[in-house]
Structures are given as structure tokens and as C-alpha cells.
Amino acid sequence: MEPELLAEDAIPTGDPFNLFDEWYALAREHEPNDSNAMALATASPSGAPSVRMVLLKGHGADLGAGGGFVFYTNQHSRKGSEIAANPQAALLFHWKSLRRQIRIEGRLEPVSEDMANAYFSSRARDSQLGALASDQSAPMADRREFLSRFEEVRRKYEGKDVPRPDHWGGFRLVPQAIEFWHDRPFRLHERRRFTRSASGWASTLLYP
């Protein structure tokens, strides 16, 4: 019989960030594409949900008060508008080849200007230009309209640094709950959920 991955004595000491680091390192080693891809679920003030894939660009227990998981976006997009109105969200990592997933729930906070500038400057130049050219989530007549704006921006900044748009930045999800799931045959899965309180993290196993 396989060992229990989520048994109490099999979990790295400390908070769930340690276990996340262990699983994420394994995913980065074995997942062929975008091991940092995660589903981000947000909701409007009325409770209408929406979900899309984004990329994890930073994480850790020391990433600000309460730790967190960071992604970047156009803040005028649908997700940006929903976050501004209702800064609660959920993340889901699903590593199919490893048969593991992690669910994370919490509040969203904007990252600092310095942090957003540092990440934007590290992006590929065409990605920087695309962020300037795109009105993310807004309707457009056809793709040629966007490509034309992209070429216009490319010409404008030829030989120059591309500035980060004011409406482009990052968010840090500060977790209140993190659940680890490991696939087992016949749906006899392992699940452990960590919840945060004023005194720290507590965890419990869940029925599959």
C-alpha cells in the first residue's frame, strides 16, 4: 500500500506553505507545461462567479503579512473590476500528471508599486507592449484592431524602455484556507484542509 502523503507525520513542520513548497517543487520538475498555472475564481458584488487561468508569479509565508500567492493583470479587466468590488477569491492548482491539486481561499491585496515595476521590467518586451496595447476584456471589432494597436505601440517605444501602465499591476492572495488533495484509486482520495485563526494554522483530514 502506498504511504499516506497527507498523514500528520508526513507533512513538513510548520504552516501549509511548507507543504505547498514541496508539492510545487515536484510540479515544476514533472509538469511539462505551465506548472505555475492556476485557476482564479472571483465574483461580482451580487455573487455572480467567474473563473480563468492565470500564472503564479510569487509565493511564500514571508511575502507580506500573512504570506501569499501573487499574480499580475490588467486592473481594468473583468477580474480586475471584480476584485476591486469584492476582494475575495479562490485559487486552484491541478497537476494532472501528479494526480494532485491544491485549493486556496482568501482575500486579495494589491502588491506594491515597486514589486509591480520589478516584475513588469522582467517580462519579455512583446509582453510589455501587449499590456499597453490591450484593453483587456473589452469588446473589439476584429483581431486586426488589436494587432494594429500593438504595432503602433511598438513603433512609439522603439529604442526606449516600455513603461508599466498605471492600470497594470499585481495582487497577493492572503490565504485563510488551503486544502491539499491527492488522488487515490476508486476515489478513495486523501484531503487535508488547513485553516488560519488568530493563533496560527490548524488542519484536519476530510472525507473524500
Question: What amino acid occupies position 206?
Answer: L
- Specify burial of residue 201 (Cβ count, 10 A radius: 0-12, 13-18, 19+): middle
Q: Is 143 annotated as catalytic?
A: no
- From 143, 144, 155, 187, the catalytic residue: 187
119 is in an annotated binding site: yes
pLDDT in tens, the chain (208 residues): 567 889 887 787 668 999 999 999 999 999 888 999 999 999 999 999 999 999 999 999 999 999 999 999 999 999 999 999 999 999 999 999 999 999 999 999 999 999 999 999 999 999 999 999 988 888 888 999 999 999 999 999 999 999 999 999 999 999 999 999 999 999 999 999 999 998 899 999 999 9
181 is in an annotated binding site: yes
Q: What is the predicted pLDDT for the residue at 1?
A: 54
pLDDT digits (tens, 9 = 90+) for 135-194: 888 888 899 999 999 999 999 999 999 999 999 999 999 999 999 999 999 999 999 999
128 is in an annotated binding site: no
59 is in an annotated binding site: no
Q: What phi and psi values does residue 187 have, to the nearest 5 degrees?
A: 65, 25
Domains of the chain, first to last: 8-121+166-205 (2.30.110.10)
- Specify burial of residue 110 (Cβ count, 10 A radius: 0-12, 13-18, 19+): middle
Share of the chain above pLDDT 70, in %: 98
